[in-house]
Structure 1
Amino acid sequence: MKALGNIFLVGPMGAGKSTIGRLLAAELRLEFKDTDKEIEDRSGVDIPWIFDMEGEEGFRLRESAMLDELSQQDKILLATGGGIVIKPENRKLLASRGQVVYLKTSIDEQVKRTSRDTKRPLLQADNPRAVLTALMAERHPLYEEIADYIIDTDGRSPRSVAIEISRSIAG
């Protein structure tokens, strides 16, 4: 049973989930939430610290618990972390508790949008493009599997994407 009015944004790093999510939530009069921000606010530390102390698996456990809690609320717009789709139970929650919008973007666009961001643990590598390419190969089919809508964000303003999503959802 899908919760009435919940919208979940999924997609890779740099797709614009948080930025577009805030605009779309205001447009649709939904409460905006971001899984990463909620984890940071509640734990009192940032995501890179969690990765350093608990590893990716520790972070993914926190992320799954946060998704379960937040997705039970009603009338929220939730921006999720790019890796939330890795766990099958997360995909099941997303697909069953709201409408899922996959914000699709190219590797080139991801590289451009994340190039100066030092808060993404998985990109603290010698070759971020290679990391993003590998992540996309793994995650793209999972995003598509649960998406009710697929919206391309390349070369577009966050506002134009939010308007397209709003129109798509309104039918």
Structure 2
Amino acid sequence: MIISLIGMPGSGKSTVGRQMARQMGVPFVDSDSEIESRLGEPIRSYFDREGEQPFRDIESSVIAEILQRDSEFVLATGGGAVLREPNRQLLHKHSTVLYLRSTPEELFRRLRHDTQRPLLQVQDPLQKLRELYALRNPLYRRCAHFVLETGRPSVHGLVNMALMQLELAGILDPARVAATVGAEKSA
């Protein structure tokens, strides 16, 4: 079982993915970290020097390699992973895809001080987020098996919503991970 998380930059893919993996007892894989490991440098510096298309080529290659692994894991993808049709097809075919949907305004509140996301280093980041959302939202929806609204829930709440959705769909055995919505963690 492979669970892939897709969504806009700042939607919580890495944070939620890490927690989901922990609760499911499987490894967490972050495609951006794998890309940086391959590049030997931060994505931002490669992106600034080489441009978006060479970066997207590497991203596609890394996603394809990750999805070939013969193990269970939770994968957090980069926000632009869905821009290429082969990536969408691979993710949809080889994993259960959860789209963490956030509005551009929510994302702006979370990211307004972030200097590490190359596409947001512009004069008007909110407008850029609106443009990215208009382009990407239909792609995320086409790729996803499930859409989770990230609006106000805490990370813990989002993780539990995701796990419950997977349980209700028969993808995740409830005995394997008991959803804990509203429950306190016991020590």
TM-score (norm 1): 0.95
Which residue among 43, 50, 56 is the counterpart of 2:52? 56
Query: Unmatched 5+ residue regions in structure 2?
Result: 169-187
Task: Tell me the secondary structure at the aligned position of residue 62 of structure 1.
Answer: helix
Aligned equivalents of 2:46, 2:26: Cα separation in 1: 29
For residues 95 and 77 of structure 1, the distance between their equivalents in structure 2, rounded to whole angstroms, comes to 14
Aligned: 1:108 with 2:95 = no
Structure-1 residue corresponding to 2:8? 12
Residues 3-152 of structure 1: matches in 2 within 5 Å?
A: 5-73=1-69, 74-152=71-149
Once the two structures are TM-superposed, the CA of residue 154 in structure 1 deviates from its matched residue by 1.1
Deviation at 1:118, TM superposition (A): 0.5
Unaligned runs of 5+ in 1: none
Q: Secondary structure at the match of 2:134?
A: helix
For the 8 Å contact 1:50–1:58, the answer to whether it is kept is: no
Task: State the Cα distance separating 1:67 from its structure 2 match.
Answer: 0.2
- CA positional deviation for 1:42: 2.4
Greater Rg by CA: 2
The match for 1:161 is 158
> Distance between the aligned counterparts of 2:9 and 2:93, measured in 1?
23
Q: Which secondary structure state, in structure 1, belongs to the residue aligned with residue 11 of structure 2?
A: coil
Number of residue pairs matched by the alignment:
167
- Give the Cα separation in 2 of the matches to 1:136 and 1:108: 10
Which amino acid letter does the alignment assign opposite residue 148 of structure 1? H
Select the structure with the greater relative contact order (CA < 8 A; seq sep ≥ 6). 1
Q: Which has the higher helix share?
A: 1
